[in-house]
Amino acid sequence: MTVKCNRPIDYFDIPPPISAAQQHGVYPQLNHDERARLNFVSACNRVVTTCLSPGNQTAYDAEELPAFQKQHGSLPNSRHEDSRAMNANSFQRLWGATRRNLMEIRQQAGAAVVLRQLDELAERARQLNDGDDNLVLDKLVKIPPYVAEVDHHCMPGSYYRELVDGDVSPAANYDIGFFVTTGGTVGPLNDEAGKAIAQWVKDSARQHRPEFKPRRILDIGVAAGHNIVPIAKMFPDAQVTALDVSAPMLRYAHARAKSLGVQNIRFVQMSGEDLSAFDDESFDWVQTSVFLHELSAKALPRVLSECRRVLKPGGLTLHLEQPQYDDNMPIFEQFMRDWDAYNNSEPFWTALHAIDMDTALAATGFDASDVFHAELTRAHTQAPTDGDNQAGQDFGREPVWHAYGAWRSDWGANHGQR
Ligand SMILES: C[S@@+](CC[C@H](N)C(=O)[O-])C[C@H]1O[C@@H](n2cnc3c(N)ncnc32)[C@H](O)[C@@H]1O
């Protein structure tokens, strides 16, 4: 089979170099060779997403679908049947192996950058963090097995490994690596999703809930803080609490936010599975971004129901993820989106994306009529889009996030009494 690239590789397809990422107080120093290595990975990713990715559809339509139909007398009716057909396809294997290798190279290149400046990074974070009440670490918090036993997206040591006292290296690697994997499409601060959430909530509240003025916001699984910072900036009168189980991520996130001039976020080491430190109905807005897909099947309902418990009447819960696999999504697209589950150390990805989030949210106590699902794109941010550029953070399109959430409907009487 011949697969033709559907667009020329021209100058405009080159993603922004790593030097276009915005610096902040704990951003790692990059020398010439390190920048060149990361730029190479970024450019290769762009070729994979723009030129190679469409070949999967061609391979599916021209080879695997007819072969499947011939063998079974029917079309595949699930992403699992698609995967049985496509996993043996030589083009798909080439594409998948290239993506996997690029991810491993990205992780190794990023690790080399942060490991050579391990102590300096820890020291820079310490200078911003020491004595600041907005960083609360707790040695007793255990790393749950679904984090401890997975090197997420091929990241050695995942989010939590600590090699020196005060280590921030997993977060520093995550920060530079995220820009490379997404080819800069989520902005110089990797924060386009957070900007989209903040803008969407502001617009949506203005239109439908003018009384909604969040004073206390809770974010779970904050990681390096990419997406909570724009939310905290959009709602400067709110006090934000941002949780994570990983001390290195929190040290980095706090130092990064502080150096960016954002002071209304308190970073706390705590698991989203147990929010007993917080009273019932104590937050106006409880949310996660690109977090749920890393939870085990047992942890997910616990986190969702804790989110419901601590939410005030009239409040908003919102979970940002890539789109769920619903009946409207072609099974070939589901198969393509599922690649990360089997090839990129995201073992909970496939199960999370297959559940019905409306039902999962209603099961925690929300009225089914209060549950919503919204598509957020960069249209919800001020960032300029780059026209028909098809490179993105999934398998080759513009970043698209779906918000699954609910408003607690019992605002009225309760609101005035709080
Ligand atoms: C994919 S990152 C989240 C990205 C982040 N929300 C953002 O918007 O940039 C997942 C993070 O969740 C954290 N995490 C995993 N399980 C957790 C739990 N039970 N409670 C709190 N944080 C958790 C990990 O340590 C990691 O930092």
Bridge partners (DSSP) listed for residue 289: 320
Q: pLDDT digit string (tens) for 339-376?
A: 999 999 999 999 999 999 999 999 999 999 999 999 88
Would 30 be classed as within a structural domain? yes
> Beta-carbon neighbour count of residue 45 at 10 Å?
23
- Domain identity same for 218 and 347: yes
Whole-number Å distance, alpha carbon 88 to ligand 1 midpoint, is: 34
383 pLDDT higher than 50? no
Report if residue 7 sits inside a domain: no
Report the distance separating Cα 373 and Cα 358, nearest Å: 8
Average pLDDT over residues 196-200: 94
Q: Which helix (H) or strand (E) holds 403?
A: strand 401-407
Q: Are 332 and 344 in contact (CB under 8 A)?
A: no
Q: What is the mean pLDDT of residues 180-208?
A: 93
The rounded Cα 107 to chain-centroid distance in angstroms is: 17
- The enclosing H or E element of 413 equals helix 412-417
Distance 340 CA to ligand 1 centre (A): 17
Q: Is 334 contained in some domain? A: yes
Q: Report pLDDT for 396.
A: 46
Q: Range of 35's domain? A: 13-132+141-181
Is 6 a domain residue?
A: no
Atom of ligand 1 nearest to the CA of 288: 6
179 lines ligand 1 (CB under 6 A): no
- For the beta carbon of residue 8, count every other beta carbon within 10 angstroms: 10
- Asked if residue 262 is part of any domain, the answer here is yes
Which pLDDT band, with edges at 50, 70 and 90, does 411 fall under?
A: low
Shared domain check, 197 and 159: no
Tokens standing for residue 23: 């610096």
Task: Looking at the structure, tell me whether residues 159 and 264 fall in a common domain.
Answer: no
pLDDT at 228 exceeding the cut of 50: yes
Average pLDDT score over residue span 393-401:
58
Q: Are residues 160 and 224 in the same domain?
A: no
CATH label of the domain that carries residue 411: 3.40.50.150
Domain limit, last residue, from 149, 181, 213 = 181
Q: Is the CB of 378 under 6 A from ligand 1?
A: no
pLDDT band at 224 (very low <50, low <70, confident <90, very high): very high
User: Are 199 and 118 members of one domain?
Assistant: no
Both tokens of residue 354?
């297959």
Q: Ligand 1: which of 294, 310, 318, 319 to mutate, most ligand atoms within 8 Å of CB?
A: 294
For ligand 1, say whether the CB of 144 is within 6 Å of any of its atoms: yes
5 in a structural domain: no
Percent residues over pLDDT 70 in the chain: 90
Residue with tokens 């019992």: 410
Q: How far is CA 109 from its chain centroid?
A: 21
| Per-residue pLDDT tens over the stretch 295-345 | 999 999 999 999 999 999 999 999 999 999 989 899 999 999 999 999 999
Residue pair 60/331 in contact by the 8 Å Cβ criterion:
no
Q: Is residue 246 lining ligand 1, measured as CB closer than 6 Å?
A: yes
How many angstroms does the Cα of residue 4 sit away from the middle of ligand 1?
A: 39
Task: Give the residues across from 288 on adjacent strands.
Answer: 319
CA dist list (Å): 195 to 187, 188, 242, 300, 318: 10, 12, 16, 25, 14
Q: Which ligand 1 atom sits nearest the alpha carbon of residue 225?
A: 9
The pLDDT value recorded for residue 13 is 74
The response to whether residue 196 sits with its C-beta less than 6 Å from ligand 1 reads: no
pLDDT at 180: 96
In angstroms, what CA-CA distances link 409 with 25, 317, 363, 365? 42, 12, 15, 11
What spacing in Å lies between the alpha carbon of 252 and ligand 1's midpoint? 13
CB 387 within 8 A of CB 333: no
Task: Reply yes or no on whether the pLDDT at 254 is more than 80.
Answer: yes
Partner residues linked to 402 by β-bridges:
321, 375
Number of domains in the chain: 2
What is the structure's pLDDT at 417? Answer: 35
Look at residue 53 and tell me whether its pLDDT is greater than 50. yes
Q: Give the pLDDT confidence score for residue 375 in this predicted structure.
A: 87
User: Which of 143, 147, 227 to mutate for ligand 1's pocket (most ligand atoms within 8 Å of CB)?
Assistant: 147
Average pLDDT across the chain, whole number: 90
Rounded to whole angstroms, the Cα distance separating 2 from 23 reads 43
290 lines ligand 1 (CB under 6 A): yes
**Confidence category of residue 384, pLDDT binned at 50, 70, 90:** very low
- Contact of 179 with 391, CB cutoff 8 Å: no
Given 181, 211, 241, which residue is the final one in a domain? 181
User: Is the distance from the beta carbon of residue 141 to the nearest atom of ligand 1 less than 6 Å?
Assistant: no
- Percentage of the chain beyond pLDDT 90 is 82
Q: What's the confidence (pLDDT) of residue 8?
A: 59
Residue 378 has pLDDT above 70, yes or no: no
Q: State the DSSP string of 6-39.
A: SS---GGGSPPPGGGSPP-TTPPP--HHHHHHHH
| Residue 198 shares a structural domain with residue 322 | yes
Tell me if 202 is assigned to some domain: yes
User: Is the same domain home to 93 and 57?
Assistant: yes
Q: How confident is the model at residue 146 (pLDDT cuts 50, 70, 90)?
A: very high
Which neighbouring-strand residues pair with 404? 319, 373
Q: Is the pLDDT of residue 5 over 70?
A: no
251 and 343: one domain? yes
2: in domain: no
pTM for this model (two decimals) = 0.93
Which residue in 180, 179, 171 sits closest to 152, CA to CA? 171
Let me know whether 73 and 169 are in one domain.
Answer: yes
Contact 249, 224 (CB under 8 A): yes
Q: Quick check: 208 pLDDT over 70?
A: yes
164 and 31 belong to one structural domain: yes
**239 shares its domain with 100:** no
Same structural domain, 348 and 220: yes
Give the CA count within 13 Å in the CB-facing half-sphere of 333. Answer: 14
Task: Please give the average per-residue pLDDT across 155-175, as a whole number.
Answer: 96
